[in-house]
């Protein structure tokens, strides 16, 4: 009795086996009921169980348009298959491939090089400012001289004014060039900063893929058994429109035939695009 109780407890504590299904590839659509703003899809799934026990049937690959709360599961093979629980969940997966950081490294290196160029032009701009300050100081000192001015002083002053004018014009051109260089490099740096942000950690996190799954827990009472289940659910963003095909045959003068075929064209954002032959009939006269 003690050994039997231990075995029973071990079976109860054992984890359910997991069987994964792709809803699109392994669960064909049986029929579709279309309403004005949604559609009900019914799919079938068949699976062979070699061993009895409890199984978690995990269905993945659902469209974002599917309302998982509307999911309904039915079927089974009498007492041999019992549906214990139906649950749904959304999990997030990081990209399976390793993130290529080469692009980010290149952008960051380019950003550093641009910053170094900006620093270089700012140092050159600072030197130009110092040269201008020195020239202005010499000119002010010359203008503030007291006393009489002789011919030699006038010659010296004229030479300085010529030097002052030419060098000041050169300083203006070089200053304008340096300021333009800094402006262009700053714009380039801001563009690189934006790209780095897009390729950053936050961007990688936002690229995680959402996996919407439904788990159907079943208990299989017999070994080597085939089980068929039906899964139905609602889809939003779905609509339909009518389409007609009319053909008139007048091969006989006294007897004409009119063949009318009409379709219901079902359109959904992602789930499917079907043309279902709703009805077919022939009118003879």
Please state the domain extents for the chain.
2-94+209-238, 102-205
Q: Which residues on neighbouring strands pair with residue 17, listed in sequence order?
A: 55
- pLDDT in the model for residue 101: 60
By the 8 A CB rule, do 35 and 209 touch? Answer: no
Burial of 59 (0-12, 13-18, 19+ CB in 10 A): buried
Give the position of tokens 């309904």: 72
- pLDDT in the model for residue 43: 93
- pLDDT in the model for residue 278: 36
**Which of 264, 247, 265 is closest to 256 using CA atoms?**
247
Per-residue pLDDT of the chain (285 residues; tens, 9 = 90+): 443 443 334 344 456 788 999 988 899 989 888 887 788 889 999 999 999 889 999 998 888 788 888 888 988 766 788 888 888 887 776 655 555 567 777 888 888 899 989 989 998 988 888 888 888 887 787 777 666 656 666 677 777 778 888 888 888 899 999 999 999 999 998 888 888 777 765 555 455 677 788 999 998 888 888 899 999 998 887 777 778 888 877 766 667 777 888 877 766 544 444 333 333 333 333
pTM given for the model: 0.47
Give the position of tokens 């002053």: 157
């Amino acid at each position: 009795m003690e050994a039997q109780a231990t075995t029973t407890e071990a079976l109860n504590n054992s984890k359910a086996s997991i069987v994964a299904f792709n809803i699109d590839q392994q669960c064909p659509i049986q029929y579709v009921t279309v309403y004005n703003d949604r559609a009900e899809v019914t799919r079938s799934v068949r699976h062979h169980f070699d061993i009895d026990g409890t199984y978690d049937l995990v269905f993945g690959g659902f469209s974002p348009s599917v309302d998982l709360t509307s999911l309904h599961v039915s079927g089974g093979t009498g007492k041999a298959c019992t549906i214990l629980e139906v649950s749904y969940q959304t999990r997030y997966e990081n990209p399976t491939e390793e993130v290529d950081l080469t692009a980010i490294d290149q952008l960051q290196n380019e950003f550093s090089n641009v910053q170094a160029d900006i620093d270089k032009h700012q140092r050159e701009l600072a030197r130009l400012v110092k040269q201008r300050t020195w020239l202005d100081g010499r000119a002010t000192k010359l203008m503030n001289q007291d006393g009489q001015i002789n011919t030699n002083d006038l010659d010296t002053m004229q030479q300085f004014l010529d030097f002052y004018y030419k060098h000041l014009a050169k300083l203006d051109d070089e200053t304008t060039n340096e300021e333009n260089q800094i402006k262009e490099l700053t714009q380039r740096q801001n563009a690189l900063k934006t790209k780095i942000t897009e390729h950053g950690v936050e961007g990688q996190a936002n690229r995680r893929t959402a996996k919407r799954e439904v788990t159907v827990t079943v208990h299989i009472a017999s070994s080597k058994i085939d089980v068929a289940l039906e899964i139905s659910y609602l889809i939003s963003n779905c609509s339909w429109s009518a389409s007609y095909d009319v053909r008139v045959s007048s091969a006989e003068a006294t007897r004409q035939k009119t063949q009318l075929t009409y379709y219901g064209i079902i359109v959904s954002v992602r789930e499917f695009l079907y043309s279902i032959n709703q009805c077919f009939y022939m009118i003879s006269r």
